[in-house]
Amino acid sequence: MHHPHKLDKSGSVLVVVDVQDKLLRAIHDWPAVLAANVTMVKLACALGVPVIVTEQYPKGLGPTAAEIGVLFPAFAPLTKTVFSCFGAPGFAAALEAAGARTLVLAGIEAHICVQQTALAALHRSLGVHVVADAVGSRTPANKELGLAKIRQAGGVISAVEMALYEWLERSDGPEFKAVLPLIK
């Protein structure tokens, strides 16, 4: 039996929100945010956790960062013009097809699209874990306010390593050895 605040690989879906080239460069500490998103995608893929990637108005904000896109054999992000990912055509259906019970959120911006997606997920009785080191905003204050609001609404604030070790649960299996280089 798992504690409700502990991530379980089964039922988790990683959602990478709008990590797009034009917006990314305006994000505070963007190289670290991008690196954490890349690590999360690699971890999820290695552990069999489904990944959904969204793009906010790609015509204006450009495509998803190439460092993320190259991690998928057939990259097909969901495009949106609304802030919550739940407004993206196909998003709810993709979650349902993946058997989502918990959204693990990464991406930008923490106080806008990530926060609105988290609130919509919580409203739908889905669990929400926000990977704090894999989200960003243009200012540190906005990131912190976004995370605080998600926490107040019932979301869990996590980190890359916390997600990894909770998904793994143990160190004596082949998955641990396979993903360990990603965090060293």
In the residue annotation, 80 being an active-site residue is answered as yes
Contact status, residue 163 vs residue 104, Cβ threshold 8 Å? yes
Q: Clarify whether 21 is annotated catalytic.
A: no
Per-residue DSSP letter, 112: I
| Catalytic residue check, 113 | yes
Distance CA 88, CA 179 (A): 31
Task: From the candidates 6, 29, 80, 133, give the one annotated as an active-site residue.
Answer: 80
Q: Which of 85, 113, 133, 143 is catalytic?
A: 113
User: CB under 8 Å to 12, separation ≥6 — which residues?
Assistant: 44, 49, 50, 100, 101, 102, 104, 167
Tell me the CA distances in angstroms from 11 to 52, 62, 100, 117, one per residue in order: 13, 31, 5, 17
Catalytic position from the list 6, 9, 18, 184: 18
Catalytic residue numbers?
18, 80, 113
